[in-house]
Every structure is written in structure tokens, then in C-alpha cells.
Copies of this chain bind each other. A is one copy, B any other.
């Protein structure tokens, strides 16, 4: 079982309106991009989308390092990977590349995703089916 293979990648244009008064892409936008990579990953795990089931993933923690400022125009590529499987949670990492800056990493993130029963709000154990699905996605990376 090998994790951390960065199997998922989404490409997104920087939109002018994502810049704030400082003339840089606002810090909240990076989390939107991380989310888009995370959801693209989830599409491989829950074909109907996570919201259609009684048990699903929630974001419990995020760490983000903003390494370089971004500006419009640019195109970013956000990669995601699962780096660790816990009992009822797993870790996902993210890295963001800027085309305008020559494809260097401009931000990195690390998050904890917990599987919860949406009705009770309680965490639930990762199923073997989910573990296998994650490993299959990583094996394609």
C-alpha cells in the first residue's frame, strides 16, 4: 500500500475578481482550489457524490502555507493525495502550482478529513471498501 502519490490534479484559471485590494489572489481562494482538488478525488471514491449517502467526509482541519503571491492572469494546477489512513479519518495533502511562475509550487496544504454519520454527527470507522478505493486511486497516481 503506497499513499502520497498525487494522483489527482485539477487545472483552474485565476479569475481577476479573486484578487483582493492588495492585488493578490485572496487567501480564501486557495482553500476553494484545494476543495476542488479534494472533491475531484472524492468523485473517484463516491460515484454518486458524497452528499447522497448517510455517511460522508467532513473537513476537520486544514493547514496551508502560502509560499508565493498570485496574480491574474495565471492558471493554477492543484494536486491532491491521501497521505495517511486513520481509524475514522484520513489525511489529504495539496500542492498548488502557478503556470505564470514557471510551474513552481506557490502553496501547500495538509488536511484531516473525518468520516461522519451526518444524522448523528459522530465519526465512523473507515470501511474496508473506502480504504481499498483510496488505495486504488493512489495506485493510479
- Which A residues form the contact surface with B (CB < 8 A)? 10-13, 15-17, 19-23, 26-29, 31-32, 35-36, 39, 43, 51, 56, 58-66, 69, 72-73, 121
Closest 4 pairs (CB-CB, A-B): A16-B39, A19-B21, A28-B31, A28-B28
Residues of B within 8 A of A32 (CB): 15, 17, 28
Q: Is the CB of A19 within 8 A of B17?
A: no
Q: In whole Å, how far is A25's beta carbon from the nearest beta carbon of chain B?
A: 10
Per DSSP, are chain A's interface residues mostly helix, strand or loop, or mixed? mixed
Residues of B within 8 A of A31 (CB): 27-28, 31
Q: CB within 8 A of A60: which of B62, B66, B73? A: B66
Docked CA distance A74–B21 (Å)? 15
Residues of B within 8 A of A22 (CB): 51, 56, 58
Docked CA distance A66–B62 (Å)? 8
Whether A60 contacts B51 in the complex (CB less than 8 A), given A21-B23, A31-B27, A36-B16, comes out as no
CB-nearest residue of chain B relative to A13? B12
Residues of B within 8 A of A17 (CB): 20, 26, 28, 32, 35-36, 39
Among A16, A32, A39, A59, which residue has the most Cβ atoms of chain B within 10 A? A16
Whether A21 contacts B51 in the complex (CB less than 8 A), given A12-B13, A28-B35, A31-B28, comes out as yes
